[in-house]
Amino acid sequence: MSNQDLSIAAKLINGGVAGLVGVTCVFPIDLAKTRLQNQHGKDMYKGMRDCLMKTARAEGFLGMYRVLRIEPRAVHMPGKCTTAKPQPQPQPQGAAVNLTLVTPEKAIKLAANDFFRQLLMEDGMQRNLKMEMLAGCGAGICQVVVTCPMEMLKIQLQDAGRLAAPHQSSTSAPSSSRSYTTGSASTHKRPSATLIAWELLRTQGLAGLYKGLGATLLRDIPFSIIYFPMFANLNSLGVHELTGKASFAHSFMSGCIAGSLAAVAVTPLDVLKTRIQTLKKGLGEDVYSGIMDCARKLWIQEGPSAFMKGAGCRALVIAPLFGIAQGVYFIGIGEHILKYFE
């Protein structure tokens, strides 16, 4: 295996490991972000803390890593059959989607940025802001191949608990007035990423999994343009002359700072993406025909503050996620693993 091949493989492993560790740590906050962004001017959750507390009370601690499905249970009584009060059934699927797909997603994002930096700049080391931004743009474009379907499935599972409460309160009402409905027969089955993906592929083809692709690109390209150059320049401030590298703590903090600032900057675009990719709507919630339609309705009905919903959660998700990613790169886990295959 050549040194260049070893370097690419190591970067892919580092990105994958960073994604797995990071998502495991921040998934509950990411769940809160999705539910807050999908609130259409309502106050079911007053903020991140309130959302996490209500989720923990209703679904348990592990409920933060899964979704809630409420299904009526038939009860047989002499001479008649009635439906008992629906029971919440937590399904361990929300985090599973992220943990499965975040490995290739983060591997592509981080490795692509390094590849474009080396392609556009000599050894990718010297400071050139324009080239750094261009490399980040390339990384943002490459990652959406995995990011778009991953978040499409994740959002459906994360948002189920938000819609479960209105659904439960309306189960005694006629079916035409229920707020959590869909025309698909698959909704009567146990919810899972596999079922959702299969239903989308069956009814809409590959385009169903890539719903919101434009909004995803609109969010991820600016994020990468901001994040990667900012991290590179912050990290360079702590480089030691003897080692030529910044310390682990400095790299970690640089990743956290750059990640949180970039995340807050693109929050309005993330809100639009979340709304567009949410397939099941509550009672009175809008359906959007595109990015401009979503932005217009959001501005008119909920005001400009709606574009910053979940900004704090998003910063708290992205900061440690990219701090961990840069820490994994610093440790060189991929290089250590590949040594055993030399």
Cβ contacts of 219 within 8 Å, gap of 6 or more: 266, 269, 270, 272, 273
Q: What is the DSSP letter of 18?
A: H
Q: Kindly report the backbone phi and psi dihedral angles of residue 317, in degrees, each rounded to the nearest multiple of 5, phi listed first.
A: -80, -50
Rounded to an integer, what distance in angstroms lies between the CA atom of residue 115 and that of residue 111?
6
**Residue 183 covered by a domain:** no
Which amino acid appears at position 271 of this protein? V
The domain containing residue 194 runs over which residues? 3-171+188-339
Burial code (b: 16+ CB inside 10 Å, e: under 16) for 55-76 equals beeebeeebbbbbbbbeeeeee
Asked if 149 and 209 count as a contact pair (C-beta separation under 8 A), the reply is yes
We report the CATH number of the domain holding residue 330 as 1.50.40.10
Q: Kindly report the backbone phi and psi dihedral angles of residue 71, in degrees, each rounded to the nearest multiple of 5, phi listed first.
A: -125, 135
Rounded to an integer, what distance in angstroms lies between the CA atom of residue 210 and that of residue 277?
9
**Residue 179 covered by a domain:** no
> What pLDDT score was predicted for residue 42?
64
> What pLDDT score was predicted for residue 183?
39
- Determine how many CB atoms are found less than 10 A away from the CB of residue 198: 12
> What pLDDT score was predicted for residue 164?
60
pTM for this one?
A: 0.76
**Residue 33 covered by a domain:** yes
Asked if 136 and 117 count as a contact pair (C-beta separation under 8 A), the reply is no
From the list 254, 242, 278, 234, the residue with the least C-alpha distance to 33 is 278
> What pLDDT score was predicted for residue 121?
82
> What pLDDT score was predicted for residue 89?
46
Enumerate the β-bridge partners of residue 91. 67
Interhelix angle 267-277/248-265, rounded to 10 degrees, is 70
Vertex 172 angle, CA 167 and 178, to 5°? 40
Tally of structural domains, the chain: 1
**Residue 204 covered by a domain:** yes
Vertex 254 angle, CA 249 and 252, to 5°? 35
Determine the distance from the C-alpha atom of residue 84 to the mean position of all C-alpha atoms in its chain, rounded to a whole number. Answer: 35
> What pLDDT score was predicted for residue 63?
64
Enumerate the β-bridge partners of residue 75. 82
Q: Kindly report the backbone phi and psi dihedral angles of residue 266, in degrees, each rounded to the nearest multiple of 5, phi listed first.
A: -105, 15
- Determine how many CB atoms are found less than 10 A away from the CB of residue 187: 16
**Residue 181 covered by a domain:** no
**Residue 75 covered by a domain:** yes
SS3 percent helix, strand, coil of the chain, rounded to 5, is: 70, 5, 20
**Residue 176 covered by a domain:** no
> What pLDDT score was predicted for residue 72?
39
> What pLDDT score was predicted for residue 27?
79
> What pLDDT score was predicted for residue 282?
74
Q: What is the mean pLDDT of each run of 10 residues along the chain (342 residues)?
A: 59 79 81 84 79 81 55 43 46 55 79 86 71 93 92 83 55 39 42 82 92 95 95 89 83 92 96 91 83 95 92 89 81 79 68
Enumerate the β-bridge partners of residue 206. none
Which amino acid appears at position 50 of this protein? D
Look at the alpha carbons of 266, 271, 274, 277 in this order and tell me if their dihedral is positive or negative: negative
User: Tokens for 280?
Assistant: 């099941």
Helix runs in 170-290, H state only: 193-204, 206-209, 213-236, 248-265, 267-277
